Structure 1
């Protein structure tokens, strides 16, 4: 498939159902210049073909520590293995993650800014983003803030994406499994003890905590302090479970209580992991992401893919907007709102998507979404000598279509997260797109979005 075909197929994909967006879904809405994407994908496929081994990923740690070309093979293989399901257990292995983070940390300290050394650190950062525990977070923060040479921006970009993905990986089990499971078991346990003499109070307490668990699950993937809140909920559950146990007279009731206690213990454990990515003002994590989102240096870097020097500040702001949307928090939302006025369209569009994730409606957000729907601006870094007119037109057309598709998805997220938001100007833009959008796929998707929006009441 050619680089021109990929954006076209993406633009023709049907709109997904509205659901809590994962970092993987958000990265689909992420604006990255098409020529860069094509180059990255080409390099990735090249090295993935080298990494087709089926051995134990743990054996590749020694290759990471070597100074030979084998460390390239190992870094790409490990990133591929961690992304797949065959070795999913490694994503929860703190020692394995710590060993990989140590290699990255040592490479950062070594200070080699040659192209291969920088690319090696970039791959390692991406690999660490596949874990579901926070062991390597300090190293990723270090990678996101270390820049002694313009070429190291590649590592910073990869580390920012990894931080966002890691955050989502840690929070999602609480949102999708543990909190709903605790709520269901608490209600079942309440039913089991309510009939016992004196058990009504214990049952009512479990039901109240079940309601809290359900409420937290609904906002978990965008809660900036999920770790702290889930930890407090687990602490409240423990004495309630102990109190209810005294009134569980049936074997089935005692079984439900035991399951609930085990689930609460798992919530407490996962809450400790999530606390590491809770937003705290002036923390190294917050400073790293806010720093990238506020990067306005005029420096340029050599990019061998484009065979020219290119500015990089807007790329950091793009990734910063993406990471802020995943991390959340009042300070993050304020910065994202400011970024709607950025001079670079990619930054504006990523900020808009992140704000939609949090239901943070505003007049300026509406203006940006209307722009994305009806008149998207495209800025693509061109290689030395430029594109021929045919290639340039294809990239421009496909990029605009993808931005419009992303805007439709973002609008549906905003509507789902903020049912009271005034979407009149946005709906008007979607209606216009449904009538005049080209190609036909855009008109169909716009009409589908209108059907969903019409159900808001």
Structure 2
């Protein structure tokens, strides 16, 4: 196979490269538990899906240029992002969306699985997720589908791209409505299949894919999605469990309460088992606690009188004064306590009316 030029993969040496390169998956994106608005933190995507006062042909031309991976590729991406920052309407520009989808489709059929191509595919997936149009959904579904025929992307690179596509589908559903995304019968089927991907090696990225698919199912909702999320509450992988619980909390499903209580345990070591450094462990602990607080508030708001909500409220109150957690976590818990008091007053007021 003829080698292709590699996109930069080490420390960026210029502001252009730094702005244009997709950021590495962060801890919170590994868990995929942050609010959907934060999913667009990826630097290039955030720039790319800004606005443009340039002619649409300029934008679609730069999109096509991204496909030719060479040493200048990220500068092209930066130029494209600058054009898109400065005007209006790109998130609803069907021509640009379709061109990005076309490039992604061609890239998925390209047998080159080098790191540069993988980064490009990830970039294209995330960009398509930011649109307020359904035009990119078919390409995202194709990218999210497992490929067992030996064509296109395969192996670890396949899981990286599939995960990016799954996450983009979740963001797209938040942008245009879950009912529109779920109307394609492939969507829920593919996400359900992704949660069942065999996982025999924590390092191969399959659990990350399964975790992201669980979150996406929560965004879409529906009977099949909820039923599968309930099953995933017993998953041996903590990230998958926590995303399932967080997803169910979006729907006020009290069956998530035991796992959310686990997330709110500051001594929870299972959540940290894949983290290799003390800093990573502390960051992971804080992220799990923070997202457990959000999920707990949702569950209590939806189920104010059930016993599990009382347990959640007690755990949140404990965290607000716990000396074993960070100051930021204590502050988050104190805010949660105040929010719960407001909720309690609201429920009491409605009962009194």
Q: Same fold (TM over 0.5)?
A: yes
Question: Aligned to 2:259, which of 368, 382, 393?
Answer: 368
Paired position in structure 2 for 1:447: 334
Paired position in structure 2 for 1:395: 280
1:91 aligns with 2:123: no
Runs of at least 5 residues in structure 1 that lack an aligned partner in the other structure: 1-5, 8-20, 29-39, 172-223, 226-273, 301-309
1:25-424 matched pairs, under 5 angstroms:
25=38, 27=39, 56-75=58-77, 78=80, 86-147=86-147, 148-171=154-177, 225=179, 274=180, 277-278=181-182, 283-298=185-200, 310-362=203-255, 365-374=256-265, 375-376=267-268, 377-379=270-272, 381=274, 392-419=277-304, 422=307, 423-424=309-310
Match of 1:110, SS state, is coil
C-alpha displacement of 1:445: 2.7
Judging changes above 3 Å, is the alpha-carbon distance between structure 1 residues 337 and 73 closer, same or farther for their aligned structure 2 residues?
farther
Question: Aligned to 2:311, which of 404, 425, 429?
Answer: 425
C-alpha displacement of 1:72: 4.2
C-alpha distance in 2, partners of 1:76/1:317?
32
Figure out how many residues of one structure are paired with residues of the other and give that number: 298
Paired position in structure 2 for 1:23: 36
RMSD: 3.3
C-alpha displacement of 1:112: 1.8
Determine which structure has more spread, i.e. the larger CA radius of gyration: 1
C-alpha displacement of 1:151: 1.7
TM-score for both structures, normalised by structure 2: 0.74
C-alpha distance in 1, partners of 2:170/2:243?
13
C-alpha displacement of 1:98: 0.9
1:332-363 deviation line (CA, Å, top 9, x unaligned): 1111111111111111111111111111112x
C-alpha distance in 2, partners of 1:81/1:296?
42
Judging changes above 3 Å, is the alpha-carbon distance between structure 1 residues 105 and 397 closer, same or farther for their aligned structure 2 residues?
same
C-alpha displacement of 1:66: 2.9
C-alpha distance in 1, partners of 2:319/2:227?
30
C-alpha distance in 1, partners of 2:120/2:72?
11
Q: Indicate if the aligned counterparts of 1:119 and 1:154 stay in contact, CA closer than 8 A.
A: no
C-alpha displacement of 1:71: 4.1
Deviates more, 1:372-381 or 1:159-168: 372-381
Runs of at least 5 residues in structure 2 that lack an aligned partner in the other structure: 1-25, 28-33, 148-153, 349-353
C-alpha distance in 2, partners of 1:66/1:445?
46
1:5-32 deviation line (CA, Å, top 9, x unaligned): x98xxxxxxxxxxxxx96225x49xxxx
C-alpha distance in 1, partners of 2:116/2:273?
25
TM-score for both structures, normalised by structure 1: 0.58
C-alpha distance in 2, partners of 1:159/1:78?
21
Q: Indicate if the aligned counterparts of 1:125 and 1:159 stay in contact, CA closer than 8 A.
A: yes
C-alpha distance in 1, partners of 2:188/2:81?
26
- Tell me: higher relative CO, structure 1 or 2? Use CA pairs within 8 A at least 6 residues apart: 1
